[in-house]
Structure 1
Amino acid sequence: MSGDEKMRAKGEQVKGAIKETTGRAIGNERMAGEGRAERAKGDAREAKEKTKDAFRH
């Protein structure tokens, strides 16, 4: 399960970064903001998984 969560976190980070970059490129602040939020969500999920891994070992 942990591997799935890590993959989901990376996917959210990548998707968010692409959305943010695209939003900035076309001048759409809403899209850029959504991308930042999505990337932050992926960062938080990744941090949660790293914390869980730290306590397992």
Structure 2
Amino acid sequence: MIVLGVILLIIGFVFGISILWTIGLILVLIGVVLWVLGAAGHAVGGRKHYW
């Protein structure tokens, strides 16, 4: 999710498409939150870890 968000951020920045920039930023933030929760040992979506 983080990688997809970064790719969308780059594409949105290069081509000037603001919706891709926004979606990419949201995906990166959600991915980081899930990653931190999973690394802290909290169950995320029924899993004890999140890749």
TM superposition score category, shorter chain reference: 0.7 to 0.9
- Residue type matched to 1:38 in 2? L
The match for 1:24 is 13
The match for 1:40 is 29
Following TM superposition, where does structure 1 have runs of at least 4 consecutive aligned residues deviating by more than 6 angstroms?
Answer: none
The two structures have a TM-score, normalised by structure 1, of 0.69
The total of aligned residue pairs comes to: 42
Higher relative contact order (CA 8 A, sep 6+): 1
- CA-based RMSD: 1.2
Gaps of 5+ in 2: 43-51
Counterpart secondary structure, 1:52? coil
Q: Which has the higher helix share?
A: 1
- d(CA) in 1 for partners of 2:26, 2:10: 13
- d(CA) in 1 for partners of 2:31, 2:5: 8
The two structures have a TM-score, normalised by structure 2, of 0.77
Pairing partner for 2:38 from 35, 41, 49:
49
